[in-house]
Amino acid sequence: MQPHTLNVHIMHADPVMTAGLRVILGDHADFSVSTHAVCPHALSMAHVIVADYQGGIAAARQMPQDRYSPAPRVLIVTQFDKEWEVRMAMDSGVHGYLLQGCSADELVKATRSLSQGLRHLSESVTRCVADSLSRESLTGRETDVLRLLAQGCCNKSIARELGIGVGTVKTHVKGLMSKLDATARTHAVVVATQRGLIGPSQGLMRRPVNGFHNAALQ
């Protein structure tokens, strides 16, 4: 293998996407492209991993932190474009983030950039991250309260569901409304939905009250 060869390992969960990625990247002579379904052991030699959203996050979190043996760089190609989705991926150690539908040239450019130790985000993703960094993030508990507000729950119901006092609920509501620059509870839900912090009809996943929060919404 020549020193300049770039080993790209595709771990995308979508077989059609995998086929397309393989064709595009494999069209470049300096790329050695492998797919996880056919050649899983090639992962150990990869410089760049191209994956779907969940697979990319899992791969990034499992990479060893060894400065003497650099870990592969992770590039996600996905349709997920919500603020919290992008931020969770970046916080997990993902190095590149492209949206499905990007051009073949951008895919190749992103792969090369990651191999050089750089980051690459789609333009719309870059704007999303920049906008989110300019705003104060909701805490995990504020997000829990917000999602219950979206279900139409009153303060007493929220307090009962989360195992906290009504006064504490009021404090969280006041805090999240301030962070969302909302003028009313329903306005806060609308703003949060527009920003992708909660889905249009997303409710709180029922779970025992134990102090832990959904990792994707922290």
* pLDDT of 127: 76
Of 133, 157, 188, at which residue does a domain stop? Answer: 133
Q: Is 99 helix (H, G, I), strand (E, B) or coil?
A: strand
Whether 86 contacts 129, CB under 8 Å: yes
**What CATH number did the domain enclosing 100 receive?**
3.40.50.2300
Average pLDDT by consecutive 10-residue portion of the chain (218 residues)? 79 96 95 95 94 95 69 94 82 93 95 94 80 73 92 94 95 93 91 76 39 32
Final residue before a domain boundary, out of 133, 149, 165: 133
CA pair distance 188, 126, nearest whole angstrom:
24
**Going by C-beta distance under 8 Å and a sequence separation of 6 or more, which residues neighbour residue 75?**
48, 49, 50, 51, 56, 94, 95, 96, 97, 98, 110, 111, 114, 120
What pLDDT does 106 receive?
A: 96
Residue tagged 């609920």 (tokens):
169
The pLDDT value recorded for residue 200 is 57
Sheet containing 31-35: order of strands: 31-35, 6-11, 48-51, 73-78, 96-99, 120-121
pTM: 0.67
**The pair of three-digit structure tokens given for residue 203, joined into one six-digit string:** 């409710």
Alpha-carbon distance of 218 to 92, in angstroms, equals 12
Q: Answer yes or no: do 30 and 85 share one domain.
A: yes
User: Which of 76, 111, 133 is the C-terminal boundary of a domain?
Assistant: 133
- Do 121 and 153 lie in one domain? The reply is no
Q: Tell me, what's the pLDDT at 216?
A: 32
pLDDT in tens, 160-179: 999 999 999 999 999 999 99
> Which residue range is the domain that position 163 belongs to?
140-217
Bridge partners of 97, per DSSP, are: 76, 121
User: What Å distances lie between residue 173 and 132, 143, 151, 188, CA to CA?
Assistant: 20, 10, 14, 9
Q: How many domains does the chain have?
A: 2
Q: Is 1 domain-assigned? A: no
In this prediction, residue 158 carries a pLDDT of 95
Together in a domain, 96 and 153: no
- For 12-40, what is each residue's pLDDT tens digit? 999 999 999 999 999 999 999 999 999 99
Residue 212's pLDDT is 29
